[in-house]
C-alpha cells in the first residue's frame, strides 16, 4: 500500500448520506436509525462507506480486501469479507435473499441498491476542513528553513483553535513541502475543501508573509493578502492571518476563540528565534533532535522567562526522553510535569500547556482521572490538537476504556494521517486492546511512509508476539534494535518475545545484556519485569515491578493492559501494587479477541 492508498484509508468524507430509515454520518463515522446510533464494528462500517461511494455499482471483493486490509495482513480475507457483510446486513436488518440495501453478485462482489440522499460536495458550500501547506521560503537560504517551517506550524496552530473548523495537522501538511501539484489533487487526497498556501520573506528584523485561500475542489481563489511586519509583532501577524481566513470562510468564533486570536503580545525576538529552532529539531523525531531542542527551549526561556510555549516544549522533550527510557522518571516525566505546570501558570489559556501537563500526570502520577481533566481542557482550547488527542487516547487505553480510546485515535488519524507517531500509537493501543491484526494494519501503514522508523518495527513485532508468531516478531524487533543503534526498550522486547517463544536461554541472555547496559545507562525496571513474567519467574518480576513503582516509572500506568504481565495477575502482590497506584475503579483489561474486556 503506497502513500496515496494510505491517505485514501483516512480521507474524511463530508456530510451525511441518507437511505431508507438510516443515515451515515461520514464525518463522525456513525450509522444512525431514527437518530439513534446503530452499533457497528469498524470493518462493516468501512464496507458500508465504500459501497456508498458508488451506489448502484458493483464493488469487487478484491477492492474491498485492498481497501480494508493491507496486502500482507495475515487473515482469511474471504472469511473477513463474508463476516463483515453479515454484520452489516444484521445492522441494516437486510436479508441476503431479498435485499433492500446490499445485493450480492456471486464471485463478483456487492452493490448498494437503495436510493440515497447524498449531500452536495463541499465545492460550493462553506469551507469547513482546511489544510495549510508548507509556506515557501523566498529567501532561498536553507538556514532560514526553520523560520519558515515554524511560521507554517504557528499558522496551523492558530487556525486549529477555531472549533468551527477542522485543520490538517502539521506532520501531514509537511509531507507536501516542496511538492508542486494541482491543488484539487491535494484537496482530494486529504479530503479537505480549503487550502492555504503562501510565502515568507525575511530581511533582518522584517517579515513579509503572503497567503492565499483556495477552494480545494475547484481551485477557486477565495482570498489573498500580504503582510509586512516587524519580527517583534510576529504573533499579531499570525493571528491577523488566522482572523482573516476565519472571516472569509464565515467561521463563527466563540468569545474565547476571539480572545485567543487577539494576538496583541509582543515577543522577544531572540527568544522567538530560539523557540522556532527548538521546534525544528523537535520535529526531527530523533533522540539527538530532542536533546538539541532542549538546548534551544532553554535558550528561549533564558531570553524570556515568561515564555509559556517554551516551557511546554521543554516539557514535551522531557516526556519523550522519559517515555523511551533515555532518562530516569524524575528527569523525564517528573521534569516534564514541573515545566508544564509552569507553562499553565504563565498562560492558563495555552492548550499545549494543558496537554503537556496531562501527559506528564498520566505517566508520572498515574492519575488518569486528573489527567483526563487536563486533556479535556486542552481540547476545549484547541479542538484540532492532534498530538494531545493521541496521548488522550493512550490515557483512555490505560483505563481500559477501549471504545473511547480507539475513537479518539481514529479522530486524530483524520487530522494527521501521515504522522509516524500517531500511527505507531494507534498500533500500540490496539496491541494492548488485544486486537493484534488491526494493530498490524497501522504499523504497516506507518512503515509505508518510513520503513526505517524503529518504533513502528517494534509495534509490529509485539503484535506478532501477541499472535504467537514469534519468528516474525523477532525479525521485526531485531530491525528496530538495528535502526535505533541498540535502544534498550527494543532489546527488552526481544527478551520477552524469546521468553514467550520458549527460548529461555536466549531470554536470560537478554536479561544479562540489559543488566550490563544498566552500568552505563538507565534501564527501566519494568522492562526486566516483563521478561521475568513471561519466564514465569514471578518473584524476580515483582522485584523489578516494585523498583519501577519506587521510581514512578512511566510504563507502570499500563500495568493492567500489558499482556506480558498476564502470568502475574492472580498473584496477591499484583493486586497490592494496583491498590497502591490508586487506579480508578472499574479499570478493565482486554482479552484476546475483538477488543472485549474483563474486570481485573
Instruction: Give 358-370 pLDDT, tens digit per residue.
Output: 999 999 999 999 9
Is the model more confident about 22 or about 472?
Answer: 472
pLDDT at position 27:
67
Residue-number span of the structural domain to which 56 is assigned: 3-112
Answer yes or no: do 278 and 257 share one domain: no
Mean pLDDT of the region 414-421: 92
Q: What is the Rg, in whole angstroms, of the alpha carbon atoms belonging to the chain?
A: 25
Answer yes or no: do 560 and 435 share one domain: yes
Residue 600 has pLDDT above 50, yes or no: no
**DSSP letter assigned to residue 429:** H
pLDDT at position 73:
52
Residue 513 pLDDT class (50, 70, 90 cuts) = very high
Residue 596 has pLDDT above 50, yes or no: no
Tell me, what CATH number does 258's domain have?
Answer: 3.40.50.10610
User: Is residue 185 in a domain?
Assistant: yes
Mean pLDDT of the chain: 88
Answer yes or no: do 503 and 354 share one domain: no
pLDDT at position 257:
82
Buried b (16+ CB within 10 A) or exposed e, 175-185: bbeeeeeebbe
Answer yes or no: do 437 and 472 share one domain: yes
Q: Which of 112, 141, 160 is the last residue of a domain?
A: 112
Instruction: Give 95-128 pLDDT, tens digit per residue.
Output: 888 888 999 988 788 999 888 875 544 445 678 8
Round to whole Å and give the CA distance between 400 and 589: 5
Which of 44-58, 158-172, 506-520 is predicted most confidently?
Answer: 506-520
Question: Which region among 42-51, 327-336, 546-555, 568-577 has the lowest average model confidence (pLDDT)?
Answer: 42-51
Residue 597 has pLDDT above 80, yes or no: no
Find residue 102's DSSP bridge partners.
112
Residue 264 pLDDT class (50, 70, 90 cuts) = low
Tell me, what CATH number does 470's domain have?
Answer: 1.25.40.10
Round to whole Å and give the CA distance between 196 and 515: 52
User: Is residue 124 in a domain?
Assistant: no
User: Is residue 393 in a domain?
Assistant: no
Answer yes or no: do 238 and 311 share one domain: no
Residue 71 has pLDDT above 60, yes or no: no
How many residues can be counted in the chain? Answer: 600
pLDDT at position 253:
81
286-to-106, 254, 293 alpha-carbon distances in Å: 51, 38, 10
Answer yes or no: do 197 and 297 share one domain: no
Answer yes or no: do 238 and 276 share one domain: no
Answer yes or no: do 32 and 52 share one domain: yes
Residue 478 has pLDDT above 90, yes or no: yes
Residue 1 pLDDT class (50, 70, 90 cuts) = very low
**DSSP letter assigned to residue 276:** H
User: Is residue 145 in a domain?
Assistant: yes
Round to whole Å and give the CA distance between 94 and 526: 50
Answer yes or no: do 193 and 294 share one domain: no
Answer yes or no: do 246 and 282 share one domain: no
Residue 138 has pLDDT above 60, yes or no: yes
Round to whole Å and give the CA distance between 157 and 263: 13
Task: Return the HEC string of 110-147.
Answer: EEECCCCECCCCCCCCCCCEEEECCCEECCCCHHHHHH
pLDDT at position 15:
61
| Half-sphere exposure for 22 (CA within 13 Å, toward CB) | 23
171: nearest Cα among 308, 309, 279, 289: 279
Answer yes or no: do 225 and 168 share one domain: yes
CB contact at 8 A, 312 and 340 = yes
Q: Which of 112, 141, 175 is the last residue of a domain?
A: 112
Task: Return the HEC string of 288-327.
Answer: HHHHHHHHHHHHHHHHCCCCHHHHHHHHHHHHHHHHCCCC
CB burial of residue 531 (10 Å; 0-12, 13-18, 19+): buried
CB burial of residue 97 (10 Å; 0-12, 13-18, 19+): exposed
Question: Which region among 8-17, 68-77, 158-167 has the lowest average model confidence (pLDDT)?
Answer: 8-17
Residue 263 pLDDT class (50, 70, 90 cuts) = low
CB contact at 8 A, 385 and 378 = yes
Instruction: Using DSSP, state whether 523 is helix, strand or coil.
Output: coil
Which of 33-42, 139-148, 173-182, 562-571 is predicted most confidently?
Answer: 562-571
Mean pLDDT of the region 207-232: 89
| Residue recorded with cell 502520577 | 365
User: Is residue 413 in a domain?
Assistant: no
Round to whole Å and give the CA distance between 590 and 600: 9
Instruction: Give 267-305 pLDDT, tens digit per residue.
Output: 799 999 999 999 999 999 899 999 999 999 999 999 999
Tell me, what CATH number does 72's domain have?
Answer: 1.10.10.10
Q: Which of 220, 235, 265 is the last residue of a domain?
A: 265
Instruction: Report how many domains make up the chain.
Output: 4
User: Is residue 63 in a domain?
Assistant: yes
Backbone angles phi, psi at 202, to 5 degrees: -115, 135
**DSSP letter assigned to residue 382:** -
Instruction: Give 327-350 pLDDT, tens digit per residue.
Output: 999 999 999 999 999 999 999 999
Residue 266 pLDDT class (50, 70, 90 cuts) = confident
User: Is residue 122 in a domain?
Assistant: no
| Beta sheet of 102-105, edge-to-edge order | 58-60, 109-112, 102-105
Buried b (16+ CB within 10 A) or exposed e, 244-271: bbbeebebebeeebeebbebeeebbbeb
User: Is residue 408 in a domain?
Assistant: no
Percent of the chain having pLDDT more than 70? 91
Residue 32 has pLDDT above 90, yes or no: no
State the cell numbers at 432. 494492548
Residue 564 pLDDT class (50, 70, 90 cuts) = very high
Strands 22-25 vs 102-105: parallel, antiparallel or unpaired: unpaired
Answer yes or no: do 485 and 584 share one domain: yes
Amino acid at each position: 500500500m503506497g502513500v496515496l492508498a494510505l491517505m485514501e484509508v483516512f480521507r474524511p468524507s463530508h456530510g451525511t448520506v441518507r437511505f431508507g430509515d438510516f443515515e451515515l454520518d461520514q464525518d463522525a463515522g456513525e450509522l444512525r436509525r431514527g437518530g439513534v446510533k446503530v452499533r457497528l464494528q469498524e470493518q462493516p462500517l468501512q464496507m458500508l462507506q465504500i459501497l456508498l461511494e458508488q451506489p448502484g455499482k458493483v464493488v469487487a471483493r478484491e477492492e474491498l480486501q485492498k481497501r480494508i486490509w493491507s496486502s500482507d495482513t495475515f487473515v482469511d480475507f474471504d472469511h473477513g469479507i463474508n463476516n463483515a457483510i453479515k454484520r452489516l446486513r444484521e445492522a441494516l436488518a437486510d436479508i441476503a435473499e431479498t435485499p433492500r440495501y446490499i445485493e450480492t453478485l456471486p464471485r463478483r462482489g456487492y452493490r448498494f441498491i437503495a436510493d440515497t440522499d447524498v449531500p452536495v460536495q463541499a465545492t460550493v458550500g462553506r469551507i469547513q476542513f482546511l489544510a495549510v501547506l508548507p509556506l515557501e521560503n523566498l529567501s532561498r537560504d536553507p538556514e532560514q528553513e526553520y523560520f519558515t517551517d515554524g511560521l507554517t506550524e504557528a499558522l496551523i496552530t492558530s487556525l486549529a483553535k477555531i472549533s468551527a473548523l477542522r485543520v490538517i495537522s502539521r506532520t501531514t501538511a509537511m509531507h507536501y513541502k516542496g511538492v508542486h501539484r494541482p491543488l484539487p489533487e491535494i484537496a482530494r487526497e486529504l479530503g479537505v475543501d480549503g487550502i492555504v498556501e503562501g510565502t515568507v520573506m525575511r530581511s533582518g528584523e522584517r517579515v513579509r508573509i503572503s497567503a492565499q485561500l483556495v477552494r480545494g475542489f475547484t481551485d477557486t481563489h477565495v482570498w489573498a493578502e500580504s503582510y509586512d511586519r516587524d519580527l517583534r509583532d510576529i504573533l499579531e501577524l499570525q493571528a491577523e492571518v488566522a482572523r482573516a481566513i476565519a472571516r472569509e470562510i464565515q467561521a463563527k468564533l466563540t468569545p474565547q476563540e476571539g480572545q485567543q486570536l487577539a494576538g496583541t503580545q509582543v515577543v522577544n525576538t531572540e527568544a522567538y528565534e530560539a523557540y522556532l529552532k527548538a521546534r525544528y529539531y523537535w520535529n526531527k523525531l530523533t533522540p539527538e533532535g530532542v536533546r538539541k531542542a532542549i538546548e534551544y527551549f532553554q535558550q528561549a526561556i533564558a531570553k524570556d522567562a515568561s515564555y509559556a510555549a517554551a516551557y511546554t516544549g521543554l516539557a514535551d522533550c522531557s516526556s519523550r526522553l522519559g517515555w523511551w527510557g533515555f532518562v530516569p522518571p524524575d528527569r523525564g516525566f517528573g521534569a516534564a510535569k514541573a515545566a508544564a505546570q509552569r507553562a499553565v501558570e504563565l498562560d492558563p489559556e495555552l492548550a499545549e500547556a494543558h496537554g503537556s501537563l496531562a501527559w506528564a500526570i498520566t505517566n508520572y502520577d498515574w492519575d488518569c482521572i486528573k489527567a483526563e481533566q487536563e486533556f479535556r481542557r486542552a481540547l476545549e482550547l484547541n479542538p484540532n490538537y492532534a498530538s494531545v488527542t493521541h496521548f488522550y487516547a493512550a490515557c483512555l487505553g490505560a483505563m481500559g476504556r477501549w471504545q473511547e480510546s480507539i475513537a479518539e485515535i481514529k479522530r486524530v488519524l483524520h487530522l494527521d494521517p501521515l504522522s509516524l507517531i500517531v500511527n505507531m500509537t494507534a498500533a500500540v493501543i490496539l496491541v494492548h486492546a488485544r486486537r493484534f491484526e488491526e494493530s498490524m494494519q497501522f504499523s504497516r501503514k506507518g512503515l509505508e511512509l518510513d520503513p526505517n522508523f524503529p518504533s513502528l518495527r517494534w509495534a509490529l513485532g509485539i503484535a506478532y508476539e501477541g499472535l504467537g508468531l514469534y519468528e516474525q516478531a523477532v525479525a521485526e524487533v531485531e530491525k528496530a534494535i538495528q535502526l535505533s543503534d541498540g535502544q534498550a526498550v527494543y532489546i527488552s522486547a526481544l527478551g520477552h518475545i524469546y521468553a514467550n517463544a520458549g527460548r529461555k536461554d536466549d531470554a536470560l541472555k537478554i536479561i544479562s545484556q540489559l543488566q550490563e547496559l544498566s552500568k552505563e545507562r538507565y534501564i527501566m525496571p519494568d522492562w526486566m519485569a516483563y521478561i521475568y513474567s513471561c519466564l514465569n519467574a514471578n518473584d524476580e518480576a515483582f522485584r523489578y515491578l516494585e523498583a519501577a513503582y519506587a521510581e514512578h516509572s512511566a510504563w507502570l500506568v499500563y500495568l493492567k493492559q500489558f499482556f506480558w504481565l498476564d502470568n502475574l495477575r492472580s498473584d496477591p502482590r499484583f493486586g497490592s501494587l494496583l491498590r497502591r497506584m490508586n487506579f480508578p475503579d472499574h479499570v478493565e483489561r482486554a482479552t484476546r479477541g475483538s477488543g472485549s474486556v474483563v474486570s481485573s
